Amino acid sequence: MRLLKLIAICSFVLTTLHLPAQTARHIYVSPAGNDKNPGTEAAPLRSIQSAIRLSFAIESDSTEIILRDGIYQLESTLEIGNEKGKGTLIIKAEHPGKARLSGGRKLSRKAIRRLTDRTVADRLQPHVKDSIYEIDLRSAGIPVHGLRPSGFGRPSLSAWTELFEDGTPFHIARWPNDTTVLIGKIHESGIGETREEAPYPVFEYLESRPERWAGVDSFWIGGYFAHGYADDMIKAARVDTATHTIHAAQHTVYGFMTGAPWRRWYALNLVEELDRPGEYVLDDRNGKIYFYPTGRKPGDISVSVLDAPLLAVENCDDVRIEGLVLECGRSMGIYMENTRNVLVTGCTIHNMGGVGVCVGHGSYAADKKSLKPHSAEAGGTIAHRMIGDLQGKVYEDVLFNRNAGHNNGIVNCRIYNVGAGGISLGGGDRATLDPSGNYVENCRIHDFNRIEKSYRAAVWMDGTGCRVSGCDIYNAPSMAILFHGNNHIIEKCRITNVCGEVDDQGAVYYGRDPSERGHIIRYNYFHRLSPRHRVTATYHDDGACGAEVYGNIYHQAGSMPVLIGGGHDITYRNNIFIDCPLAIHIDNRMQGWGANMVARDGIADQRLKRVRYDEPPYSTAYPELKAYWEENPAYPKRNLFEGNLFYRIGNLLSGRTEWAEFVNNWATASDPGFIDPDEPLKGFREDAQVFTRIKDYPTIPFDEIGCSLPANPSDNLPIP
């Protein structure tokens, strides 16, 4: 069979090489095509991969693979590799948004039926018994992948089987439906980060609802069990109604705690809690799904299947992916590695179980048996086409190079309803400070944490010289942009309604490495960040250093819009703070509880030595770094706040004024000259008082902030 297929492809290529040059530069593909066709406009191919193979043999400065409207169901990853020809390869939708690459399976009507299993039906709440449907995926030949642990300190892996109706993802049935409940008395904290055989957590529930689950042999619980930046989801073993306790079946990184408002939990994947339209329960033991449709009858139902990227571009240059929709995979949308000048433009990536786009490889510790060290502290070996333990690998090895290539861009794209972050953007070389030039520009990224929450940002950046420009980022339980490395730029982004669940986290966040310098954060709009817990807009954590932050607008931007956690050489210039209870927090944590971080042989010392901070290129790029140990690194120094506007601010500073220099700032309760104080992006009036009260106040490009893509219903735009 393989030989016959190879002969057919060779015959196909030889035939096409005799076509006129103009025709040879365009290859057409259609879901109704045939791979025996020559790929012309009149006789398109059926397989995109066949068209990619054909393109390798075409001698042209530019070859276009044009996809006709329809759904292209993928059984495996589409691959563009080092066999690619020398010219530019373009894969584009004939009509933008109409060619859909799917990693799922659409189910026939006969595969969906009303629930008939009386054992399951008897567990349902009475008012929904006539509304629940059943899918027997095993009988349909579709594998069912059950829930897995998900949360802080765990690797980023493929999602479980997800259900979609009319292109909208369902969510696992849970209680409470829209909130969480406090953790009761702890019987066993279950801290599993020190030894594999530690006891599993046991805690008391405070409500009566868990009594309904007494006969259930397993279900799942999620929440923030200890720290407010560390969500988790683990399997539960049973409910003990005599002691009012829930017994977990797995460890967590930090165990269970009480005494803080974010230490809360919820239950999920219980038939007993399948009580709202848009919910489903996975029964992987029997290969079934039970679900509550959004209408009186189910619409078009699909499930995610493909456990791999939908598209992989590796070891090649000059590729353009344009106007496609990528959806319904259990893993990621697009993967790139060792590429140059690859552009993803005008695409929609949604309903994926993992990240939307990954630029650079990840890492994975496949044989790990305990949670110590957890995957936010240590990674495994290089892993292709996955993210895995990348967070811990970068933490453990600050020079980890993801082989992410150069000048790759994601532009004018919509990324939403993805499971584990929007874009993972590597690039550049920290050892040499060689910049990548990789970038994200004019994208709308929202609702990007359906499966994994903690440290799965809309954009993750690592390496050197990456850029995020003009994006709208919103609707997330955790952070918007998380970065490591050097010389990154974050500019002209509109960041709204993120960090909605967490404590001690920032919308834009980095930290714990004094060699990570040269960053620019400019002209961004931070709006409607939760003031409930310790939420920050720009967070320089645990001794972070060397950022220039200017021209940003902090409007109702959390409980402490700026947090400098003991670091140095951070400049805030010409920023605008509006309607915040507190503007700036600075502390000297490295003289207190963080002293071990800046002790000799501590984490700062290790990381500085790793990059050879006192030799070029670091000593020349960051001259102040060479004297790091000579100037008492525990004491905050050379932080500057100059020319900033503070309007309707409760308290200007939490901390001591000697930890930063304050020059030419203006705090006022009166309108400083906005065209509309409630919509500051409309800018200042020409006669605004701010221009006279703050010397040399610059012109801020208010009208360039945010994404310019036209709105559509799927954008789920936040309330202004």
DSSP reduced 3-state for 121: helix
Residue 227's contacts (CB-CB under 8 Å, 6 or more residues apart) are 152, 254, 503, 504
pLDDT reported for residue 717: 87
CA dist 645 and 572 (Å) reads 11
CA dist 80 and 339 (Å) reads 10
Residue 592's contacts (CB-CB under 8 Å, 6 or more residues apart) are none
pLDDT reported for residue 195: 53
CA dist 92 and 345 (Å) reads 9
CATH fold of 2-68 reads so0334 like fold (3.30.1910)
Q: Are 192 and 199 in contact (CB under 8 A)?
A: no
For residue 433, count CB atoms less than 10 angstroms from its CB and return exposed for 0-12, middle for 13-18, buried for 19 or more: buried
Q: Are 617 and 638 in contact (CB under 8 A)?
A: no
What are the beta bridge partners of residue 45?
29
DSSP string, 519-543: EEEES-EEEEE--SSSEEEEEEETT
Q: Identify the residue whose tokens are 């048996």.
A: 369
pLDDT reported for residue 5: 41
The pTM score is: 0.95
252 alpha-carbon distance from chain centroid: 22
Q: Where are the domains of the chain?
A: 2-68, 86-95+306-365+373-475, 105-173+273-303, 175-268, 494-704
CA atoms within 13 A on the CB side of 676: 5
pLDDT reported for residue 11: 42
DSSP string, 281-306: EEETTTTEEEEE-SSSS--SEEEE--
Q: Are 164 and 328 in contact (CB under 8 A)?
A: yes
CB atoms within 10 A of CB 7: 10
**Which candidate, 388, 556, 517, places its Cα nearest to that of 456?**
388
The separation between the first and the last C-alpha atoms of the chain, rounded to the nearest angstrom, is 59
Q: Which helix (H) or strand (E) holds 332?
A: none
pLDDT reported for residue 192: 55
CA dist 451 and 150 (Å) reads 7
Positions in the chain short of pLDDT 70? 1-24, 192-197
257-297 pLDDT, tens per residue? 999 999 999 999 999 999 999 999 999 999 999 999 999 99
Q: Are 578 and 680 in contact (CB under 8 A)?
A: yes
Write out the two tokens for 243: 């002691």
pLDDT reported for residue 58: 85
Strand duo 264-268 + 181-182: pairing: antiparallel
